[in-house]
Structures are given as structure tokens and as C-alpha cells.
């Protein structure tokens, strides 16, 4: 699934091999694409750091701040999704943390305001009632809001991780042959 794109014209920098499969893996689980590419330590750092931030933020919000809100629009799925993301855009960032946010999607698809729980995940990542959100914002001393900010930042940071999996780091190391010495040294170069 890898393809090649031309570099910026510098002949000393090898072309970038775009690895979309690794990008998909890093979307699903942060760092998994890097692990698949053999950059295991970096993948583990991404996994631990982003999941720590996401779940820390989720717990700060009493595990009720990651959800796709239902604004009451009963049109088609796309129209409803657009209106609901406009109504509460937080999930547009949270979504990019990958499968950790998928329960919210399942809850949204199966949402029934006449029931207290969803069919698969129960109350996990289910949109709370307006009264419940008001109570959390009023009584949790701003940690509910801080929590969703953390989860959104974790999701947005994972976009950088996905990019790193697809195209590599922003500054790649290139081998530079020193004319005066047989040793080869490496240097970071922007791509």
C-alpha cells in the first residue's frame, strides 16, 4: 500500500514512501503504524502518551465528556451528523484518537432518547441529558470542561502521529558522506 512522492528537488534526500496502511493503523490505535514500520519505541511512546492524555481527560470529566451529541435533528444520517457536529464540534477532534472513541459512534447510531442505555456499550460514551451536563459543569469545578479539552487535544495530536506514520517525521535523517573522512554522518533535513 506504499506509494512514492517526489521530494522537494534535493537529490541528497531519498524520496518519501507514503505508507497509508501504517497511517490507518495509527488512526485505529495511536503508534500502531510506527510499530508496524519497526519504529517500536516511538510507537509505544505515542500509544502511552496519547492514551494517557485521552483517558485522563475522560476520567476528569466523570467519563461523560466523550460523546456525539444528539441535537434532535431527525433528518438523514449525514444531515443529522453535520448538525450535531455543528452543535457540539468536540467530537470532531476526539474522533481521531481512533477505536477508543468508537463507542460514542455506536451510541450515536443507536441513540434512543426513550431508553437510558445503548444496546452494546450501555451508558459508556452515551450523550448525557442536558440536565446532567449542566450539573457536571456546575459542580465539577471546571474539571469536566478541562477533561474534554484534553480528549480533543489527544485526538488532534493523533493526526500528527498518523501523518508521521504515512510520511515519516518532518525532519528526516539523511546520510552525508564526508569527503575528508571515510565515516558517514547523519544530519536532519526538512522534507
Partner 1 sequence: MSIYWHLPILIVVVSIVYSATRFDNWGMIFHEAFRWGLRMSLFLFGIGFALYALSSLI
Residues that bind partner 1 (CB under 8 A): 39, 41-42, 45-46, 49-50, 52-53, 56, 60, 141-143, 146, 150, 153-154, 157, 160-161, 163-164, 168-173, 186, 188
* Share in percent of the chain as helix, strand, coil (round to 5): 50, 15, 35
Give CA–CA dist 141/135, Å, rounded: 11
Closest to partner 1 by CB, 59 or 71: 59
The residue among 105 and 146 lying less far from partner 1, judged by its C-beta, is: 146
**What is the bridge-based pairing of β-strands 16-19 and 171-177?**
unpaired
Cβ distance to partner 1 smaller for residue 50 or 69: 50
Question: Do residues 158 and 97 make contact, with C-beta atoms less than 8 angstroms apart?
Answer: yes
DSSP string, 30-66: TTHHHHHTT-HHHHHHHHHHHHHHHHHHHHHTTT-S-
Tell me the closest approach of the beta carbon of residue 42 to partner 1, in angstroms: 6
Min. distance of Cβ 178 from partner 1 in angstroms? 18
Q: In whole angstroms, how close is the CB of 150 to partner 1 at the nearest point?
A: 6
Distance of closest approach, residue 189 Cβ to partner 1, in angstroms: 11
Among residues 65 and 107, whose Cβ is nearest to partner 1? 65
End-to-end alpha carbon distance in the chain: 21
Amino acid at each position: 500500500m506504499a506509494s512514492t512522492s517526489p521530494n522537494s528537488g534535493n537529490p541528497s534526500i531519498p524520496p518519501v514512501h507514503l505508507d497509508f496502511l501504517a497511517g490507518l493503523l495509527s488512526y485505529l490505535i495511536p503508534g500502531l503504524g510506527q510499530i508496524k514500520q519497526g519504529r517500536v519505541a516511538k510507537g509505544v511512546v505515542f500509544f502511552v502518551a496519547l492514551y494517557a492524555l485521552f483517558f485522563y481527560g475522560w476520567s476528569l470529566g466523570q467519563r461523560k465528556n466523550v460523546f456525539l451529541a444528539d441535537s434532535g435533528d431527525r433528518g438523514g444520517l449525514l444531515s443529522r451528523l453535520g448538525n450535531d457536529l455543528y452543535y457540539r464540534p468536540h467530537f470532531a477532534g476526539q474522533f481521531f484518537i481512533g477505536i477508543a472513541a468508537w463507542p460514542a459512534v455506536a451510541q450515536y447510531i443507536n441513540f434512543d432518547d426513550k431508553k437510558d442505555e445503548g444496546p452494546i456499550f450501555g451508558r459508556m460514551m452515551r450523550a448525557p441529558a442536558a440536565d446532567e451536563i449542566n450539573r457536571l459543569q456546575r459542580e465539577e469545578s471546571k474539571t469536566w470542561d478541562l477533561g474534554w479539552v484534553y480528549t480533543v487535544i489527544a485526538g488532534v495530536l493523533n493526526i500528527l502521529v498518523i501523518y508521521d506514520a504515512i510520511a515519516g517525521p518532518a525532519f528526516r535523517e539523511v546520510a552525508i558522506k564526508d569527503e575528508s573522512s571515510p565515516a558517514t554522518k547523519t544530519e536532519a533535513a526538512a522534507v
